[in-house]
Amino acid sequence: MDYQYIQRTIAHLQEAIDALAELSVESHDITGIAVADEVQEHLNKARAALSTAINPELPEYLSGDILHQMEKYGIPLEDLEVRVALSNHHPSQVVGVLNEIGDRYADIRRRREYFLVRLPEQPVEELGSRLPFYTASDFAWTPPPTPPAVLEALRKKYQLDRLKKRQPATDIFGKIDAAQQAWEQAKQSVDPE
């Protein structure tokens, strides 16, 4: 068990005793009232530390799923030992014990005691997914540019230079007009009427 709360309480009580000793030595004037207020403040801190040691609050990491599992398995959250154990151990240990209890639910009769005994024996693990986290940007792939030497080798291999370059549309219409005129001339030379 972690005795830090009790040690903190003892320190606050010692400060209060020292302040009371000062009060009895000094005269009863304005400083005495200030010392009395200081003693009361130390006693309030000591009471708060003791109440924390006696009835610790539930840790913030306890999610609804963990609380639901504990309730489902019959582990009382109102129990002082359970609360102290929860506040002194890592969340991965709590999840590990609850998974063990879930796997062997029918075999375990005293689940609270099993929880308290097995909790410190669980290894501390990193919570969350063990797989890497991927986003859409990880899959955005741009092919590397093809080197000019490779492009030249492909042109030679497949004889791409033999293919004509695309001609502009005005050039094509000019050829069509020339073909129509040639057709008309050939038609007139064949028909002498």
The predicted-structure confidence for 83-110, as pLDDT tens digits, reads as follows 878 888 888 899 999 999 999 888 888 8
Provide the pLDDT for residue 191: 67
Residue 15: Cβ-neighbour burial (10 angstroms; 0-12, 13-18, 19+): middle
- DSSP character for 144? P
Question: Is 133 part of a structural domain of the chain?
Answer: no
Residue 125 · residue 89 · CB < 8 Å: no
Question: Is 139 part of a structural domain of the chain?
Answer: no
- Same domain for 84 and 40, yes or no, is no
Where residue 159 falls among pLDDT bands split at 50, 70, 90?
confident
Query: Rounded to whole angstroms, how far apart are CA atoms 52 and 127?
Result: 27
Query: For the chain, how many structural domains are there in total?
Result: 3
pTM of the model: 0.43
Distance separating the N- and C-terminal Cα atoms of the chain = 124
State yes or no: pLDDT of 44 exceeds 90.
Answer: no
Q: Which domain holds residue 83?
A: 64-118
- Same domain for 88 and 44, yes or no, is no
Strand, coil or helix: 42: helix
